[in-house]
Amino acid sequence: MKNKDTAQWLCRYRLSKYRQDITPYRGSEAAFHERFQPYEVIEGEGNCLLNTGIDEMWDLIIGGSANHFDSTYAQVGVGDSTTAANATQTDLQAATNKTYKGMESGYPTSTDQKTTLKASFGDAEANYAWNEWVVKQSSSGKCLNRKVESLGTKSSGTWTLEVSITLS
């Protein structure tokens, strides 16, 4: 009988779309979310863990020269490419329509074997088709994962993307 170790990576995401602009609430985004309700919420799961992200995690675990995915350096990026996700990719595949945003105040969080990252794109940001997204470390430029799925076309208002990753 062979022993087999298994691990699970589960990524869930929630995109909340608001008609209002979050820009005046930067630094106190919770007040924005308490005051306004989204007109649409899209939830899903699954993504492609990228090789560069795996290497970055191992470097963090062993105390290497990797950079933390913390409130200063973690970003969520969105783009308009529909190129299928592949573990060998290193970033968004969009040629020009791509935008990266840092974390909302209080993010990322870590509890119960899960981390949650949350970024909001205001009225004048990322106004194009959202077909892909990544979690990126801004200092190293390394992306942890990538998801390809049509989430709609943003033209105004605020879209907030929350990504939760559970390891078990």
Which carries the bigger pLDDT value, residue 19 or residue 62?
A: 19
Report the distance separating Cα 81 and Cα 102, nearest Å.
Answer: 21
At 115, which amino acid appears? T
Structure tokens at 131: 């077909």
Both tokens assigned to 81? 């490419």
Q: Note the pLDDT of residue 5.
A: 80
- Residue 61's pLDDT is 84
With 70 as the cut, is the pLDDT of residue 1 above it?
Answer: no
Alpha carbon 13 to chain centroid distance? 8
pLDDT 10s digits, 49-95:
999 988 888 888 888 777 788 999 999 999 999 999 999 999 999 99
Q: How far apart are CA 64 and CA 60, in angstroms?
A: 6
Contact 14, 159 (CB under 8 A): no
Which DSSP string do the residues of 15-68 spell out, in sequence order?
A: EEEESS--GGGTT-HHHHHHH---SEEEEEE--EE-HHHHHHHHHHHHT-S---
With helix as H, strand as E and coil as C, how does 67-119 read? Answer: CCCCCCCEEEEEECCCCCCCCCCCCCCCCCCEEEEECCCCCCEEECCEEEEEE
pLDDT of the residue at 65? 74
